[in-house]
Structure 1
Amino acid sequence: MSGKRLKRKKLHSKLFTKNRLVILNEDTFEETFSLKLTLMNVFVVASLGAIFLISVTTFIIAFTPLREFIPGYSSTQLKKDAAELALKSDSLTNVLKKNQAYISSIQKVLTGELDYAKFNKDSILAATTDTIPKADLSPSEEELELRAEVEKEEKKAQQSTVKKKK
């Protein structure tokens, strides 16, 4: 016990002992600047300076165009262009599908596979639209059992918290 206490006192005395920093003119030995410091003050000022420097650097990188020079970050203009091109390619793909269906229908008419009276451009284009199939969204028996188990566990948890509060 006393050994730990002695170490603490020794550390405390080292940290809080006042020292004097003096800057002298070398030619005249005139005191230019003088400052009383403790080791703790130097540590605190150095830590705050490092935190300030790190935060300013982070702020500059995060909120200025400098972030584009860091590998892995892309420019906002590049992101906008990519989104715009993705939309254009999607719409061009849809137009291409419609044109392909129209051309294949015309080929059928020209080769005689399809009667002329049945040929209608709107029906061809309507046939090419992708429809989402309806899925059965009703819960299965396993899901209903799981829901019941979860409800029972929640009720038990609520009852135990109510008992603990009392």
Structure 2
Amino acid sequence: MKANLEEQSWFNRLFTNLNYKYKLVIMNESTFDEKLSFRISRMRVFIVFGLVTLISIAFTIFMIYITPLKEYIPGYASVDKVKLVYINKLKTDSLEHEIAQRDLWLANFKNRILLGKDIDENDSINMIKDATVDYNNLDFNISKEDSALRTKWEKVPDYDLSNAPNTSKRGGISRFFFMAPIKGTISGGFNPQKQHYGVDIVGKKDAPVKACLDGMVILSTWSYDYGYIIAIQHDDHIVSVYKHNSTLLKNEGDMVSAGDPIAIVGNTGKITTGQHLHFEIWYNMNPINPAQFISFD
């Protein structure tokens, strides 16, 4: 038998060894009675363990496929999550763009309107222009479609609620109740032709300057021309400006309520003729005469 095995090839010898039959016997240790016996071979053991392993792997893959367990696999994400990530990315990009536009608007409003700085060729306001548009030859003629839309809208009554989904915002600036920043006499009136975009109010010495509406302080600084200046952003694109103060009581970013002291009236800055408050109201980037909405007496 041994000679026959040696004459066989290594593959045949391996196959023969794997198929050797073994008897597994379970006996009573005291009486040596045979209780149970199995005839097995190495090949059968390998086959059984191989089948069990394959079944276990297949069952695991199946359970991962039909249950949320697959979401714990690194690099795997459900379609809904991928869609949600994409939507959030778009919202984040839009928010970043909106914040950049807001910061640019605030910077230009502070520097150009409040502090009176000139615009140079490298100013950020020039960077947002569309290079494909010829701004020197713009067509301001009203189209037929625009004329028809204007005519249609002018015929809509103000009390038609079907065309006013948010009636709380109708009425513009006139729906606000402005508080007087100080009480006193107007020494200089509103005159945009002379670039005087507010009113000059002469009040008591060291009188507190109060916020005319609720809002957030967007500027609290000192300038050479206007001295100590403070500006507040209110609802509905309204900005109030207070110039020539002797002391500022609020910082940028502070939230204030109507009537809160924000500064002390003074006589600071180059462009001043005595102790007074220069008070301005801007609505949608346009100066408004404060005397039309506030009584300073």
TM-score by length of 2: 0.29
Structure with bigger gyration radius = 2
More helix, by proportion: 1
Higher fraction of strand: 2
